[in-house]
Amino acid sequence: MKKTIGYWVCTGLVAFFMLSGGVADLLHPAGVVEGMVKLGYPPYFMTILGAWKVLGGATILAPRFPLVKEWAYAGIIFDLTGASASHIATGDNIGHIVAPLVIAAITSASWWLRPEGRRLKTV
């Protein structure tokens, strides 16, 4: 029971971060565009990231499709570690560097705690 609760808390947090961040990227509000440009990325990149974030967040919540979930978890980790690396490369403050890594750790916990029905079958 504790494992199930831990899984859903972690998964809910990750889904929230991905879905809300993805929607923000898709809507292109001025502050988010400013942050992306500060990191050296063109604004159109937000549309690409936003779509993938929304799809990834929805996928880890959805039942079934364990192979697609594996890809979603990998994509989320790539996004978060890439965000941290981008903040390091631009000399951003420690909060902007660490925050994506904390979410990546929560993502890893979600993946690790996932129930049997959400795992790939091993041969």
Per residue in 8-54, pLDDT (tens digit) is 999 999 999 999 999 999 999 999 999 999 999 999 999 999 999 99
Residue with tokens 């993502």, as numbered in its chain: 107
Query: 83 with 93: CB under 8 angstroms?
Result: no
Tokens of 103: 């979410």
**pTM of the predicted structure, to 2 decimals:** 0.92
Cβ atoms of residues 24 and 39 within 8 Å: no
Of the chain, the percentage scoring pLDDT greater than 70 comes to 99
Whether pLDDT at 123 is above 80: no
